[in-house]
């Protein structure tokens, strides 16, 4: 990929221009990703300058003095924005760049499929991986989590089942969040939208009671819709970290140390402020309790859907 501009990226402009130039890639997305491969400079001038001045702390990498980072567009990982030009931005990208900086390495991004990623050959690491995603790997750290979450206009804390029952929820059609809801016995009226901005706008105007979406997408959109409050996850959060070859102890240990370093020196906090509104990690205490299970007769758990259809390809694609 061509070297990315180091210009400041506005989160708000990402939201408002997403339909024209950006896609949020979560699991199952088939949006163009081929241009991602190549050397990608840091989003921060300071990181780039520091990396150039540092000595590599590891030697066992695919390319000398380079951390080759695999990003899987079909994973359930956190926010990933890809411009029409192929340039990639997002939480995974920023974390990878910060880790490479700590290791004294340049960074190169390649598109991979977690199921067939060849650690130590195609790439050194795969970002946003859960245990079992990448064959022959050890997952280091848990810098991000995935779960479908409800958002409400005004703070309510973690919702209860009775709070949700018979209410109207907006979501993006054909998304993982919709599928997750359909597997429960919750009885809610569903309105589907072409993008999450439209769903959050409907929440803000009082047309719906809740939005259900990937938690991190919701956190991201809270900057544009500050009245939207997190109301709990529908499913248990899945921890995700950095997959590295089980046979590369040197890199695994170095990554664990680097993750601890950026978590302690404020870098991770800055990254999370940029992409997820500064929200901390998801945990089991944030999951809505006693959600009824779906049955063969009521497996959809919802009434008929109205509104727009899915705007993006794939089971977990989400357009902001």
**pLDDT tens, 155-172?**
989 999 999 999 999 999
| Domain spanning 11-146+239-276: CATH 2.120.10.30 | no
Instruction: Give the pTM.
Output: 0.77
**Which neighbouring-strand residues pair with 266?**
none
pLDDT of 280 = 78
Q: At what angle do helices 249-264 and 91-103 cross, to 10 degrees?
A: 110
pLDDT of 107 = 95
Per-position DSSP letters for 42-82, written without gaps between them: -SSHHHHHHHHHSPPS---SSBTTEEEEEE-TTS--S-EEE
CATH 3.40.190.10 residue ranges of the chain are 11-146+239-276, 148-235+282-307
- What's the CA gap between 63 and 1, in Å, rounded? 16
Q: How open is the CA angle 319-310-29, to the nearest 5 degrees? A: 55
The answer to whether 23 and 59 have CB atoms below 8 angstroms apart is no
Q: Which two tokens stand for residue 98?
A: 């910060």
- What's the CA gap between 36 and 109, in Å, rounded? 6
pLDDT of 315 = 35
Per-position DSSP letters for the chain, written without gaps between them: -PPPP-S---HHHHHHHHHHHEEE--TT--S--GGG-EE---SSHHHHHHHHHSPPS---SSBTTEEEEEE-TTS--S-EEEETTS-EEEHHHHHHHHHHHHHT-EEEEEE--TTT--BTTTBSEEEEEPTTSSTTEEEEEEEEEE-EEEEEES---S--HHHHTT-EEEEETTSHHHHHHHTB---BEEEEESSHHHHHHHHHTTS-SEEEEEHHHHHHHTTT-TTEEEEEESS--EEEEEEEETT-HHHHHHHHHHHHHHHHSSHHHHHHHHHHTT-----GGGBPSSPPBP-SSSTT-B---EE----SSSTT-B--
Q: How many CA atoms lie within 13 A of 260 on its CB side?
A: 7
Spans in the chain with pLDDT lower than 70: 1-54, 73-78, 82, 86, 114-116, 296-318
- What's the CA gap between 200 and 221, in Å, rounded? 8
pLDDT of 148 = 97
pLDDT of 126 = 93
The answer to whether 242 and 71 have CB atoms below 8 angstroms apart is no
- What's the CA gap between 23 and 216, in Å, rounded? 15
Burial zone of 273 (CB within 10 Å; 0-12 exposed, 13-18 middle, 19+ buried):
middle
Q: Which CATH number fits domain 148-235+282-307: 1.20.810.10, 2.40.160.20, 3.40.190.10, 3.40.640.10?
A: 3.40.190.10
């Amino acid at each position: 990929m061509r070297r990315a501009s180091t210009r400041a990226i506005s989160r708000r402009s990402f939201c408002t221009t997403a339909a024209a130039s950006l896609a949020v890639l979560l699991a199952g997305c088939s949006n163009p990703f081929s241009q991602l491969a190549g050397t990608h400079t840091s989003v921060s001038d300071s990181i780039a300058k520091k990396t150039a001045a540092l000595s590599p702390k590891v030697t066992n990498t695919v390319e000398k003095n380079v951390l080759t980072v695999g990003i899987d567009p079909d994973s359930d990982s956190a926010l990933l924005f890809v411009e029409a030009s192929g340039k990639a931005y997002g939480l995974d990208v920023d974390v990878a760049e910060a880790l490479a900086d700590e290791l004294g390495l340049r960074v190169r991004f390649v598109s991979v499929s977690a199921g067939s990623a060849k650690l130590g050959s195609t790439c050194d690491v795969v970002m946003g991986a859960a245990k079992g995603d990448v064959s022959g790997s050890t997952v280091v750290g848990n810098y991000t989590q995935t779960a479908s979450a409800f958002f409400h206009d005004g703070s309510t804390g973690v919702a209860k089942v009775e709070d949700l029952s018979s209410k109207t929820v907006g979501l993006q059609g054909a998304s993982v969040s919709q599928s997750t809801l359909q597997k429960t016995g919750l009885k809610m009226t569903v309105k589907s939208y072409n993008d999450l901005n439209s769903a959050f706008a409907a929440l803000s105007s009082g047309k719906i009671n809740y939005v259900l979406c990937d938690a991190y997408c919701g956190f991201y959109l809270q900057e544009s819709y500050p009245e939207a409050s997190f109301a709990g996850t529908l499913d248990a959060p899945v921890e995700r970290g950095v997959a590295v070859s089980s046979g590369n102890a040197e890199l695994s240990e170095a990554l664990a140390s680097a993750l601890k370093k950026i978590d302690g020196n404020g870098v991770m906090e800055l990254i999370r402020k940029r992409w997820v509104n500064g929200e901390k990690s998801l945990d089991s205490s944030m999951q809505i309790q006693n959600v009824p299970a779906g049955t063969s007769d009521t497996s959809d758990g919802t009434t008929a859907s109205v509104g727009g259809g899915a705007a993006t390809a794939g089971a977990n694609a989400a357009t902001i």
